[in-house]
Every structure is written in C-alpha cells, then in structure tokens.
Amino acid sequence: MDGAAPLVHARGLTKRFGKATAVDGIDVDVAPGEAFGFLGPNGAGKSSTMRMIGCTSPPTSGTLRILGLDPAADGPRIRARLGVVPQQDTLDTELTVFENLLVYGRYFDLPRGVIRPRAAELLAFFQLAERAGERVEPLSGGMKRRLTIARALINEPQLLLLDEPTTGLDPQARHALWERLYRLKQQGTTLVLTTHYMDEAEQLCDRLVVMDGGRIAAEGSPGELIRRHVSREVLELRFADGVQDHLDLGVLAGIGDRVEALPDRLLLYADDGDAAAAAVHDRGVRPASLLARRSTLEDVFLSLTGRTLVD
Amino acid sequence: MIASLVASSALGGRRAARLFERNLLVTRHIWLVVAAGFFEPLFYLLSLGIGIGDLVGQVEVDGRLVDYRAFVAPAMLAASAMNGAVFDTTFNFYYKLRFARTYDAVVSTPLGVDDVALGETLWALARGGVYAAAFLLVMVVMGLIGSAWAVLALPAALLIGFAFAGAGLACTSFLRSWQDLDVLQLAILPMFLFSGTFAPLAAYPAGLRWVVQATPLYHGVELLRSLCTGAVGVSLAGHVLYLTTMGVVGLAVAGRRIGRVLLA
Amino acid sequence: MHAALRQTEHELLKHRQVWRTSLASWFLTPLLFLGSLGLGIGQAIDRSGAAGTAALGGVRYLAFLAPGLLAATAMQVGAGESLWSVQGGFKWHRFFHASAATPLRPTDVFLGWMTWITIRLVLSATAFVAVAALLGAVRSPLALLAVPAAALTGLAFAAPLTAFTATCQQESTFPLIMRFGVMPLFLFSGAFFPLSQLPATLQAVAQATPLWHGVDLCRALMLGTVDLGSALIHVAVLALFIVGGLAWGTSTFTRRLAP
C-alpha cells in the first residue's frame, strides 16, 4: 500500500437509484499489483461499485479516482486502460470467438497487426484456441466466461475488474479459472473482483472488504479478518428433527467464544474444535453429528451481520 | 478551443467507425440475408409495375401525365430507405441494446454512448445507400428515370434514411418490450401505404390529405418523385428541411436517452 | 386431441395480455391496405375505363383486391407464426420442452400449436371479411365461407413450415424463406392483379403455389362466382399441403422433443 499511488481511490463513494441507496459512502484504496476483493451477498452493492469503478455508472456523490484520473472528465482515457468482466457475459453472439477479440481490440483502437498475435496468445492461455473460428452461442458457460476474461485482457489493462467471475460455473471450471487468474496476478495485473463465495475470496484476494447493505463491514486480508472476528476453528452441531428447538443454549456456555444458532445447525466457535467436541459430550449434549473445521470468511460474515452469504 | 473541438469530433468519428467495422464483420456471416434486403422493393416494383401498371396506365403528377411505373418506382425507393433505416434502428438496435446487451460491452471500452448512436446511424445509412444505388440502377435499366435531376436521388435517399434512423433510435430508447415494437410497426404501415406511395394524393379525401402531408414519408416520396420525374420546384427545400430536422432532433434525443439505459 | 388442446390453451392464455394490440392490427391492417390500394389505385384503374375493369372480370378493383388480400394475409399470418415463434418454443422460451415434460406427447404439442394458429387465422380472417363488407367489397353471402377458406390457405403454409422449423437448430434460413418465398408469393399470386398480366411461364408457376388456389377460392366466394369443380380442386390442393405438413410435423416434433 505504501508508496505507490492507488489505482482505485474512493472516499464516501455513494450510488443511489431513485430512493434506494445501493452504495452508501464507502472508502476504498487498491494498490498496484494487488488482488482486491469485495465479498458480500447478492444486493450488497458490489456490482454498483464495480460499475462506478469501470466508469460506466456515474457516482451520486463522493470522490472517485481511477488510475489517478477523474471518471467524469476522463472516462474514455481511463476505460482505455481497464479490463472489464461484467457479471453477465456480454459476448457478441453475432460473431465468432476470434472476432469477439478482434472487434473488441478495435474498440481500443489497436491495429489489427497487434490484435491478431495477442488474441492467439489469449485464446491459448484460456484454452480456447480450438474454438477460435466457431460462433459464441453454443459454447459452454465456462468457455464463455473464459472468453469474456480473455476479451477484457486484449488491451493489456493495468487494472482488471471481475464481477462475480465464477458464478454459475461448475466446480471444475471454477478451479480452472482461479488458476488462470492466479497466473495473471503473478504476471503483475492488478485484480479487483466481487464475489459471494468465501472460498473464491480466500483463494484469490490479498485484501478484501466485506460489504453488506451498501456499506463496508470489515477490511483486511482473509487471514486477518478471520483472526480478528472469529476463533480459529468452528464446531458444527446437527441434531435430529426438532431437538435443536428445545435445546437450552445455556448448557453450552463457556465452551467456546460464541454460539451461533442457524435454522439447521449450531455453530460453536472455539480455538480447538476437538477439545470443544469433548466438552459438549461431557455436558450431556448428544447431537446427531459433530464436525470440527477451520473458520472461514463465511463465519466472518456471519459474525459481522448475523446472516449467511449464500441464502 | 476550435482546434480541440475539431480534434474531439474527429476522434468521435473514428470511434464510431469502430462500431461500423463490427457491423461489417457481422454482415460477412449473414450476407445472403443482407443482400436479400435489396429484393423487397424490387419485388414491389415488379408486382405493381408489371401487374398493376398496365391496368392503371398513366397518373397525373403536377399537371403532367406520368406512366404508373415511373410514378411508383421513386416511392418504392423512398419507402425502402425508410424501412431499412427503421428496421436497423428499431428491431436490430433494440435486440442489441436490451436483449443481447451488445452495447454494455462497448461502453466499457473507450467508446461512449454518442459513438454508439453515431456508429449505428452511419451503418444504417451505408447499408441503405447500397440498396438505394442498386435500386436506382434497376430504374435506369427499366427506363424509369425521366430527368437528369435523378443524380440527386441517391443523396436524397440517404437523407430519408438519416431522418428515419434518427427517429428510429430515439423511439427505440423508449421501448420497454418486444410488444412495443409491434405498436411501432403499426405506425409504419399506414405511412408506407398512404404517403402518396401507391396512388396520387388527390385520390384521397381532403381531411386525409392534410394528415398525409404532415408525415415524414410523404416528404421523402415527394422529394424522390420530383427528382426522378424532373418536376423540380422550390417545395423541395421544404422537404429537405423537414427530413434534416427530423434526423437531427431524433439523434439528439437518442443520444441522451440511450445514455440513461446504458450508463445508469 | 384433448391433450393437444392443453397446448392451445397455454397459447391463448399467453396472448390474453397482448390481445388489444392483436385485435387492433387484425382490423387495422385490412382497413389500411384496402383503403390505400383498393381506393387509391382502384380509383385510377376504375377511371382508366373498360380495359382495366374487363381484366379484373368486370368488378371494381376494391372488390377484386379484397379476397386476394384476405388469402395473402392469411398466408403471412400462417408463415409468421411458424418460424421464429416456433423456434422460440424450442430454443428461447422452451415452452414446447416444458409441455413435453408433462403427459403431453410431442404430437399433442404440435397439434396444439396448429390449433392455436387455426384460431388466430379464423379470428383475423373474420375481422378482414367484416372490414371488407363495411367497405362494400363483398358481393355474396358465400363470403362467410371465405373465412374457412382463408384459414385453409394459412394452414397450407403453417403446417409444413412449422414442421420444417422443428428440424432447424439455427434460424439463418428464416429470413430467406420470408424474403424469397412469402414476399414474392404475396406480390405475384394474383392477389393484387389478375395472373393474365404475367408472362405465360410465370402464370404457370404462380398457379402451382398454394396461395394462388387460396386467392382464387376466396375470390370466387366473396364475389359469388363459385364454380363447384374448381372450388373442389382448390380445397383439395390446400388440404394436400395441410395433411402433408401435419404428417411431417408429427415426426419432426417427435424427433426434436423426444430424440
């Protein structure tokens, strides 16, 4: 963070649609080379924030500087140096895979001679080379997503914006995509992404903010957030039908830092899950199943907001 | 100041040209469909010319008797310029704006909303220009051109296309569903049928004539018919002014409205 | 057949929301066409004297045009509901697949769609004949039979085209069918002018198309000049296209929905 000027700098950034406030005065700085995430459930204001950063949605109020420039005055100049992956693929279905890259590169005023080798390289990197001449429509969801990201890289952007990059993909396609994004990060591309998957945030982000209701609830690296807001481990207790409703939570008092009751299970936060399990057993509580696991960002979100990320 | 204005409009033109390039590339995939667009006015001309022309014989234009074929051909050219521009800027544009969301990706690049509006208008004009040139060639071959003024028919057809492209883009920015497009279609049909296209205005009752004279296609038909038959007069300036205003106002409205859809 | 009606009901329910626009266009379209061509060109032809009127069989142009336009419009409605709308049922809205996941068989889905088109055709043809009668273009009470005749004409296109659409994964042929099939038929099948105006070879081609049979049948009924022999031939030709289309569609729908 120190030294280098931030690529994204926001203070009191706000977006209202009529009476609804989508983004409610957030402060954000993204440093060059960083992978920065917005984690939050659907409707938290992540996409609105991303569209403001992408200079396709004017802020209602607050300060916003992208690459040191003002989006209101220098939109085209900023966008020339951004790569944008929107939440929904907006590929040009009337063109082939290769033509999508060609036309998009032309929008950035790149000469064809520059685009052709670069497109070939990107298609190879995203494992789409064999599909270059095919129409976009019949491609699988994972392929379309990879093509959208390849397209966003055609102008060799300084800053890549990814809105929910893996939503709707099967687990295999997600992991393949994470691996590609990780390699981009290693090559020095600054990533800003939104996600409502805590595993995605943990995998990809150096630093992230937890968003809820248009505001920032917490900020830090994944490890920091877990250390600061929850214990190291969690014990999950599941009961037979109806048993949990009649359980007096007082009986578990003192075993861990905290108990969170979800409709289908109890979460017991403790630094040592196995020790906590033994303690539960000692007090005569007999759940149908017990599971000790590491705390995740999901638990951080739960402890901050009292709700789960994916409902 | 002036230099920067010139520079920015040159830049705008170059950016809009990128969208033009995109449409050209799409055309390569559907060239047969695009080429087919030329045949619609031709079929109308042949059907009315051969089939009905003999039955009608001659009609009166500005006090002169003109063969029905020569009467109807410029009207078909005007109507086809209208239909082409309207189709490109309503159905096609609506599909790309709301359904395929093609422009959402475009405005994430250095291109802006103005470039989109300008690029699509240029495209509609170029495509319409090619159809019009081909149709004029057919008219020459069939001997339906009666005046040297007809060299101005091509720019006149482009002007008609410009007027309807501007209006079409503006209308499309207000549409909320495909059903609204049907309503738009319902407004185009009477214009196509009544703008002095198939029969001289004198054939209609006086009340209807006033209405017809207020509609844009009437001015397009009159403009082309005057140029192709040589019945040229001062009234041409009025037609040109009407169509130019319509295109400019439409484009201005479209630029603002489309921004609201794409840059919320 | 009862099962097929479920598909029809579905379509009727869907169109309840847009019936105002449909109704307006069913009445307005014939009014506009007959008003523009029938009255506009009609005045010029009728004024041109005996030669023009003789070519039309001794009637005013409006009376000549109305039945031709009735049949030609039915063809457009039939073709219009058989390409993109049908593909939408398979591909975009996928309501054919939704129906096929119920006890409805693919054949029921197909027949249900054809019933829906038939209803549309009958309604728009009724509106058309009503408008024609108001404008004074109807010469005989037999005009009532022009409604089913127009419906047959529309179905002669709808059945084979719907069957064809079920075989298409892409829509690239659809605009070509409209531009090089439907549009020339509309303009050259005797709806707007007597076929005698065409060169002999083109006349023969036009007479081989189902639209010409529909036009001639509707014209005979609305002008009251029916000759039983040719009327039966017209109906037989139209029926041939419909039955052929139905048989084909039964198999193409089954292949598309239950491969």
Q: HEC profile for chain B?
A: CHHHHHHHHHHHHHHHHHHHHHHHHHHHHCHHHHHHCCHHHHHHHHHHHHHHHHHHCEEEECCEEEEHHHHHHHHHHHHHHHHHHHHHHHHHHHHHHHHCCHHHHHCCCCCCHHHHHHHHHHHHHHHHHHHHHHHHHHHHHCCCCCCHHHHHHHHHHHHHHHHHHHHHHHHHHHCCCHHHHHHHHHHHHHHHHHCCCCCCHHHCCHHHHHHHHHCHHHHHHHHHHHHHHCCCCCHHHHHHHHHHHHHHHHHHHHHHHHHHHHCC
CATH of the domain at A106: 3.40.50.300
Statement to judge: residues A201 and A288 lie in one domain: no
Confirm whether A2 is domain-assigned. Answer: no
Whether A311 has a pLDDT exceeding 60, the answer reads no
Q: Give the model's confidence band at C239: pLDDT under 50 very low, under 70 low, under 90 confident, else very high.
A: very high
d(CA B136, CA B224): 11
Confirm whether A309 is domain-assigned. Answer: no
CB contact under 8 A, A57 and B264: yes
Interface of B with A (CB under 8 A): 14-15, 18, 21-22, 25-26, 29-30, 100-102, 104-112, 262-264
Whether B187 has a pLDDT exceeding 80, the answer reads yes
pLDDT of residue C16: 65
Statement to judge: residues A222 and A206 lie in one domain: yes
Statement to judge: residues A159 and A196 lie in one domain: yes
β pairing state of A233-238 and A265-270: antiparallel
d(CA A210, CA B170): 41
Which of C25, C51, C179 comes nearest B186 by C-beta?
C25
Element (H, E) at A48: helix A46-53
User: What is the reported pTM?
Assistant: 0.82
CB B169 within 8 A of CB B251: yes
Statement to judge: residues A96 and A51 lie in one domain: yes
- In a 3-state reduction of DSSP, which class is residue A10? strand
What is this model's ipTM? 0.84
Statement to judge: residues A259 and A165 lie in one domain: no
Which of B52, B186, B194 comes nearest C193 by C-beta?
B52
To the nearest whole Å, the CA of B112 is away from the closest chain C CA by 30
Statement to judge: residues A75 and A204 lie in one domain: yes
Which residues of chain C are within 8 Å of residue B197 when distances are taken between CB atoms?
36
Statement to judge: residues A285 and A148 lie in one domain: no
Which of B14, B25, B102 comes nearest A99 by C-beta?
B25
Statement to judge: residues A36 and A150 lie in one domain: yes
Q: How many domains does chain A have?
A: 2
Phi, psi of A293, rounded to the nearest 5 degrees: -145, 170
Integer CA distances (angstroms), A103 to A37, B32, B62, C103, in order: 29, 22, 51, 47
CB A282 within 8 A of CB A250: no
Whether B10 has a pLDDT exceeding 60, the answer reads no
Confirm whether A1 is domain-assigned. Answer: no
pLDDT of residue A101: 96
Which structure tokens are listed for A54? 């992408």
Which structure tokens are listed for A255? 């075993």
Closest CA to B244 of B173, B155, B123, B171: B155
Q: State which amino acid sits at residue A99.
A: E
Statement to judge: residues A55 and A168 lie in one domain: yes
Least-confidence region, from A88-97, A273-282, B147-156 = A273-282
Which residues of chain B are within 8 Å of residue A56 when distances are taken between CB atoms?
104, 107-108, 262-263
Average pLDDT over residues B113-128: 89
Which residues of chain B are within 8 Å of residue A90 when distances are taken between CB atoms?
100-102, 104-105
Whether B97 has a pLDDT exceeding 60, the answer reads yes
CA end-to-end distance (rounded Å), chain B? 31
Closest CA to A87 of A120, A43, A118, A127: A43
Question: Which positions ≥6 away from A72 have C-beta within 8 Å?
Answer: A58
Closest CA to C114 of C166, C174, C68, C67: C166
Confirm whether A301 is domain-assigned. Answer: no
B218 touches chain C (CB under 8 A): no
B50 touches chain C (CB under 8 A): yes
Statement to judge: residues A139 and A263 lie in one domain: no
Whether B4 has a pLDDT exceeding 70, the answer reads no
Statement to judge: residues A84 and A19 lie in one domain: yes
Out of A226, A250, A265, pick the residue that ends a domain.
A226
Confirm whether A116 is domain-assigned. Answer: yes
To the nearest whole Å, the CA of A70 is away from the closest chain B CA by 14
d(CA B48, CA B44): 6
Statement to judge: residues A152 and A110 lie in one domain: yes
Which residues of chain B are within 8 Å of residue A109 when distances are taken between CB atoms?
14-15, 18, 110
Within 10 A of B74 (CB to CB), how many other CB atoms are there? 30
- In a 3-state reduction of DSSP, which class is residue A49? helix
Q: Give me the residue label for tokens 């979460």.
A: A267
Domain range list for chain C = 2-257
Out of A185, A207, A226, pick the residue that ends a domain.
A226
Out of A188, A210, A226, pick the residue that ends a domain.
A226
d(CA B175, CA A194): 32
User: A57-85 pLDDT, tens per residue?
Assistant: 999 999 999 999 999 999 999 999 999 99
Domain extent for A245: 231-294
Query: Alpha-carbon dihedral of residues A134, A135, A136, A139, nearest 10 degrees?
Result: -60
CB B50 within 8 A of CB C197: yes
